[in-house]
């Protein structure tokens, strides 16, 4: 646990070895830059892909590089013209055919699962768009005719590069007509609001006091994250950011599905007090577009949750896209603040690095 006599600014200077706070500050500008690089003049092969009648989009990726596919899938459920499926693993799904476009994303370009699945697809005649900073994955674009590269920005941990990666993925789908194109004036207004949210949640400033207070409240409690189906990508990314940035476990529950099973384990409707349940800190992710029945379900759960440590985190915005990105901003600042309060460098991921070292000893296995 961090020494409470030390200020959060001092903790930031002592522990933030790789500039995670700076990467969080640049989240919105990363998104804006990513939108700008995906156009016909920079990527002339886009015209060829536009002529194809794609059956759907299969997104390859792992960890933070896979998160964008989850977001695309929910946006497609809400307003897209084709299904989007995220695939995390080494093998190509058995049902896949060449009329499914593949988007393979790896920040480093060296994620072994993504490379294996992409190579398997290319050998079967796939059309692939790679989004990477380089590495083996980007090199496949030089070996296969129908493998195209959208280069991303390097020099930072993959989980902080979400703005770079997702904006390129989304811009690609808009150019191909697989997701609706956001009008320029609406996008500019959205980015302005998101930038304001980014500054307002910076826990080192007076405006970020509420977020820092929440991090302090979460420090000593198990964490659970609940929200509706359309915010599931934010729930998953929130959990992953807590895992990597803060070194904390977190559980997620998606409403209404969890109301048909997990809710029994939560309890809250009897006189039996379970200390483990009472100690659980619960964050409810919401937005203005909640289905009426889901809103009722969440209201009931807030009323009956067996813990006093419960908060609503409301996603702000005029669209599902903006709400999801707003939640990303809040979660990034919150998980970094929590890491610092635990005395953890938010960039440190030693178990992941150790596992990679172990696997590299015999890459043939």
- Residue 311 domain-assigned (yes or no): yes
Range of the structural domain that residue 260 is part of: 8-17+196-341
| Percentage of the chain modeled with pLDDT above 70 | 95
Q: Write the CATH number for 287.
A: 3.40.50.10490
Task: Please write the tens of the pLDDT for every residue from 125-184.
Answer: 999 999 999 999 999 999 999 999 999 999 999 999 999 999 999 999 999 999 999 999
Residue 176 has φ and ψ, to the nearest 5°, of -85, -5
Shared domain for 26 and 171, answered yes or no, is yes
- Residue 190 domain-assigned (yes or no): no
Shared domain for 13 and 34, answered yes or no, is no
- Residue 359 domain-assigned (yes or no): no
Number of domains in the chain: 2
What local confidence, expressed as pLDDT, does residue 365 receive? 42
Peptide bond into 256 cis (omega under 30): yes
What local confidence, expressed as pLDDT, does residue 272 receive? 55
- Residue 325 domain-assigned (yes or no): yes
What local confidence, expressed as pLDDT, does residue 1 receive? 46
- Residue 189 domain-assigned (yes or no): no
The reported pTM is 0.94
| Residue pointed to by tokens 């172990």 | 358
**H helices within the chain, ranges in order?**
8-15, 20-25, 27-37, 46-50, 64-79, 112-123, 135-143, 162-175, 184-200, 209-218, 232-241, 262-266, 275-278, 292-304, 320-341, 350-360
Residue 4 has φ and ψ, to the nearest 5°, of -70, -15
Find all residues with CB under 8 Å of 331, minimum gap 6, and list them. 234, 237, 238, 241
Shared domain for 326 and 231, answered yes or no, is yes
Shared domain for 46 and 133, answered yes or no, is yes
What local confidence, expressed as pLDDT, does residue 307 receive? 83
Shared domain for 230 and 309, answered yes or no, is yes
Find all residues with CB under 8 Å of 140, minimum gap 6, and list them. 115, 118, 119, 122, 128, 130, 147
What local confidence, expressed as pLDDT, does residue 304 receive? 86
SS3 313: strand
Stretches where the chain sits below pLDDT 70 are 1-5, 269-276, 363-365
Shared domain for 148 and 66, answered yes or no, is yes
């Amino acid at each position: 646990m961090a020494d409470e006599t030390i200020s959060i600014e001092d903790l930031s200077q002592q522990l933030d070895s790789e500039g995670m706070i700076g990467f969080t500050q640049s989240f919105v500008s990363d998104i804006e830059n990513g939108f700008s690089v995906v156009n016909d003049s920079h990527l002339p092969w886009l015209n060829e892909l536009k002529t194809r009648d794609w059956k759907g989009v299969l997104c390859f990726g792992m960890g933070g590089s896979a998160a964008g596919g989850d977001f695309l899938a929910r946006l497609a459920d809400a307003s897209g013209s084709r299904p989007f499926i995220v695939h995390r693993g080494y093998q190509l799904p058995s049902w896949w055919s060449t009329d499914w476009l593949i988007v393979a994303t790896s920040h480093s370009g060296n994620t072994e699962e993504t490379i294996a699945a992409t190579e398997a697809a290319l050998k079967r005649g796939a059309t692939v768009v790679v989004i990477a900073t380089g590495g083996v994955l980007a090199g496949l674009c030089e070996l296969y005719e129908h493998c195209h590269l959208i280069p991303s920005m390097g020099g930072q941990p993959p989980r902080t590069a979400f703005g770079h990666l997702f904006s390129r993925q989304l811009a690609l789908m808009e150019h191909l007509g697989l997701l609706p194109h956001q009008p320029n004036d609406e996008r500019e207004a959205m980015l302005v609001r998101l930038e304001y949210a980014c500054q307002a949640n910076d826990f080192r400033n007076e405006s970020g006091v509420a977020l820092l207070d929440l991090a302090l409240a979460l420090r000593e409690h198990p964490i659970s994250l609940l929200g509706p189906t359309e915010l599931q990508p934010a729930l998953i990314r929130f959990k992953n950011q807590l895992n990597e940035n803060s070194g904390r476990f977190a559980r997620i529950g998606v409403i209404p599905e969890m109301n048909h099973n997990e809710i029994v384990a939560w309890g809250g409707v009897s006189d039996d007090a379970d200390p483990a349940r009472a100690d659980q800190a619960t964050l409810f992710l919401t937005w203005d577009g909640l289905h009426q029945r889901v809103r009722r379900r969440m209201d009931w759960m807030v009323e009956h949750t067996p813990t006093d440590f419960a908060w609503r985190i409301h996603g702000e915005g005029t669209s599902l896209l903006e709400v999801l990105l707003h939640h990303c901003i809040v979660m990034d600042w919150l998980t970094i603040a929590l890491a610092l309060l635990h005395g953890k460098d938010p960039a440190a991921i030693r178990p992941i690095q150790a596992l990679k070292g172990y696997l590299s000893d015999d890459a043939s296995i």
